[in-house]
Amino acid sequence: MDLYNLTTVTQFILLRLSDLPEVRYPLFVALLIIYQITLVGNGAIILAITIEQKLHTPMYFLLANLSLLDIFCPSTTVPKMLQNLLTEDHSISFVGCALQLYFLVALVGTEVFLLAVMAYDRYVAICFPLRYTLIMSHIRCAQLLTGTWAAGFLNSLLHTMTTFSLSFCMSNRVDQYYCDIPPVVALSCSSTYMAEMVLLVVGGVLGTSAFLITLISYLYIISTILKIRSAEGKRKAFSTCASHLTVVCLFYGTVIFNYIRPSSSKHSPARDRLISMLYGVMTPMLNPLIYSLRNTEVKGALRRLLCF
């Protein structure tokens, strides 16, 4: 059956961050500054890795892809939120909502898989240093990256199709500042069982698998580091993965806050939505700061780039 015959809803109404002008305009400025810092910071990381010849290694190719995701991901939601803060019309078309959801889920899913690949990369580098160049060759790195992006976008295609094949014939007010699976599915006037099962089974299996790869990799890494006798050796080994571990904790902290934690009884849903949104846009901004502050090679490349 044709998708558009299943629904009488032609557009959705997104929540606005605030309806109070005295709050709206400072929020607009703050969100715009955060977004610009995110674009500049991650763009600088990509440019530094591209220009600096000695950073043309699997570890930094993976980091460049992480920075690319940290540019794309907020770009799916922040421009629309900024527009909604300045205008009275905070609607989004049916197709626009589907595209926003598709790219948001695809990019977040790709980042989940990429963090697992980055954890595996650090596992090989620390646990098998002599075989690292053989195991993590440029060809293997390209294969892992291709698989990561393909898995993220194919996974999102499945979720988007199951979500927007539902009937929408009642309320069109999305209880979020952007289109995401749970608030859009909640608007359906048909059975949501299939969409919820696909989200739970497919999303759960892929997400849990990526998380377990990351967790197990770091358990082996920590075990290997603890076996090193010299304090200097431990420090050097830990410094090679400290930045990535910080980013992993920050990312999964965001995911837990947004999707896994129980709803707060002490705070209003509006406050929870605002905190989760700020958490989501702050994380891509902080990632380049974490890598530039904790990684001496990236710090040096950025310094040379700025002085060029």
The domains located in the chain, with CATH, are 21-307 (1.20.1070.10)
Q: How far apart are CA 30 and CA 193, in angstroms?
A: 39
| Structure confidence at residue 296 (pLDDT) | 77
| Structure confidence at residue 5 (pLDDT) | 44
User: How do beta strands 91-93 and 173-174 pair?
Assistant: unpaired
Rounded mean pLDDT of 137-150?
Answer: 96
Asked if residue 235 has pLDDT above 60, the reply is yes
| 6 class by beta-carbon count within 10 Å (0-12 exposed, 13-18 middle, 19+ buried) | middle
281 pLDDT tier (thresholds 50, 70, 90): confident
pLDDT digits (tens, 9 = 90+) for 163-221: 999 988 878 999 889 999 999 999 998 899 999 999 899 988 999 999 999 999 999 99
Asked if residue 9 has pLDDT above 90, the reply is no
Q: How far apart are CA 119 and CA 115, in angstroms?
A: 6
What one-letter code names the amino acid at 9? V
- The DSSP H or E segment spanning 257 is none
| Structure confidence at residue 197 (pLDDT) | 93
Q: How far apart are CA 17 and CA 201, in angstroms?
A: 32
Q: How far apart are CA 11 and CA 92, in angstroms?
A: 6
2 pLDDT tier (thresholds 50, 70, 90): very low
| Structure confidence at residue 255 (pLDDT) | 75
223 pLDDT tier (thresholds 50, 70, 90): very high
Give the contacts of 44 (CB within 8 A, at least 6 positions apart).
Answer: 288, 302, 305
Asked if residue 265 has pLDDT above 70, the reply is no
| Structure confidence at residue 3 (pLDDT) | 46
pLDDT digits (tens, 9 = 90+) for 69-127: 999 999 999 999 999 988 888 899 999 999 999 999 999 999 999 999 999 999 999 99
Q: How far apart are CA 172 and CA 174, in angstroms?
A: 6
Asked if residue 297 has pLDDT above 60, the reply is yes
- The DSSP H or E segment spanning 84 is helix 78-86
| Structure confidence at residue 171 (pLDDT) | 85
pLDDT digits (tens, 9 = 90+) for 10-69: 899 998 887 777 788 888 999 999 999 999 999 999 998 998 888 899 999 999 999 999
pLDDT: is 285 or 305 the higher one? 285
Task: Pick the range with the lowest mean pLDDT from 42-51, 139-148, 273-282.
Answer: 273-282
Six token digits for residue 212: 């377990």
| Structure confidence at residue 287 (pLDDT) | 87
Rounded mean pLDDT of 233-243?
Answer: 83
